[in-house]
């Protein structure tokens, strides 16, 4: 693969839900969840990119926006 870049496109809902999950992951003992330390660098890079791209991570309505995004992404039963 070399030094090329990979672009991943996410909807705003996907980005918000993934960002929240990555934040929780980073708050855990990553060595228990990720057995290869080489994986940590891309995990941190993705999380940082999402944090910069998403507006209002610390907004008072964050929890409501997160839950609404989760509802929209869950498969219908």
On whether residue 68 sits in a domain, the answer given is: yes
**What local confidence, expressed as pLDDT, does residue 69 receive?**
96
- Residue range 10-64, pLDDT digits in tens: 999 999 999 999 988 888 876 677 778 888 889 889 999 998 999 777 789 999 9
Domain extent for 33: 12-73
Judge whether 43 lies within some domain: yes
Domains contained in the chain, number:
1
Q: Do the domain assignments include residue 3?
A: no
Q: Does residue 6 belong to any structural domain of this protein?
A: no
* pLDDT tens digit sequence for 58-74: 789 999 999 999 999 99
Distance, CA of 65 to chain centre: 15
Tokens 């940590």 belong to residue: 40
- CA distances for 49 relative to 3, 58, 75, angstroms: 19, 16, 26
Q: Mean pLDDT, to the nearest integer, of 5-10?
A: 92
Query: Does 61 reside within a domain?
Result: yes
19 and 57 Cβ atoms separated by less than 8 Å: yes
In a domain, 1, yes or no: no
pLDDT at 31: 67
């Amino acid at each position: 693969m070399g030094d090329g870049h990979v672009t991943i496109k996410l909807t705003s809902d996907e980005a918000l839900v993934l960002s929240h999950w990555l934040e929780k992951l980073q708050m855990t003992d990553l060595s228990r969840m990720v057995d290869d330390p080489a994986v940590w660098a891309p995990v941190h890079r993705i999380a940082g990119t999402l944090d910069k791209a998403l507006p209002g991570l610390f907004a008072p309505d964050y929890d409501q926006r997160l839950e609404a995004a989760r509802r929209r992404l869950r498969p219908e039963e």
